[in-house]
Structure 1
Amino acid sequence: MARIIPIEVNPTHTLEVDGALVARGLALAVSEFQTLMERRQITVLCERGTDEDEGLFRASFYHEGRRVRLVLDSSGAPVSVDIRAPDRS
């Protein structure tokens, strides 16, 4: 397993995501993913669910036209994973 990535949702709640899962979805080696994260060359967006999605979080990672979107429960366990590759048409 790769290094854990802390995602700060608010000052009192942090989720941890398996970096290897995200790296695979972005078609990167884990070491390259870690370097790009450290250099802030991967964009991360984290959203907290409301209403019927209360207790869920959506973490999206973007790099070079690829997107990995994880829906996580309150413990950080993935509920769903969606990977979008760049459109080459």
Structure 2
Amino acid sequence: MAEVTRAGEGFTVEAGVLGAAFGLDPAEVPDLLRAGRITSRCEAGVEADLGRWRLTFFHAGRALRLTVDDGGQILSRSLYDTPGRAAASDTA
């Protein structure tokens, strides 16, 4: 399976991609998503970026940003700190 696939209006990202970025076992990722400890945002490109999507995942003060095309091919990826942005369940 590809790392990112188109799923209707959104995308499905392999658990291994998120696990590698956040230092997690991929088997943990689905439970962390359900618990709200990994959250995400999907943004459609406009104008010059039409046909591109920005998928951003947040976990434990870090973010993974993937820029993908309509078919889900990863065009770029970045990992960065997000100080002060921890999921509510990260602090419990």
Question: Could you say which residue in structure 2 is the equivalent of 1:14?
Answer: 10
Unaligned runs of 5+ in 2: 84-92
Q: Deviations over 1:7-38 (max 9, x none)?
A: 87xxx523222221122111111011121012
TM-score between the two structures when normalised by the length of structure 1: 0.77
- Aligned equivalent of 1:73: 69
TM-score of the superposition, structure 2-length normalised?
0.74
Matched, 1:52 2:45: no
Give 5+ residue unaligned stretches, structure 1: none
**Which residue of structure 2 aligns with residue 24 of structure 1?**
20
- Distance, in Å, in 1 between the alignment partners of 2:32 and 2:4 is 12
The runs of at least 4 aligned residues of structure 1 exceeding 6 Å deviation read: 4-8
> CA 1:23/1:7 → structure 2, altered by over 3 Å: closer, same or farther?
farther
Count of aligned residue pairs for this structure pair: 82
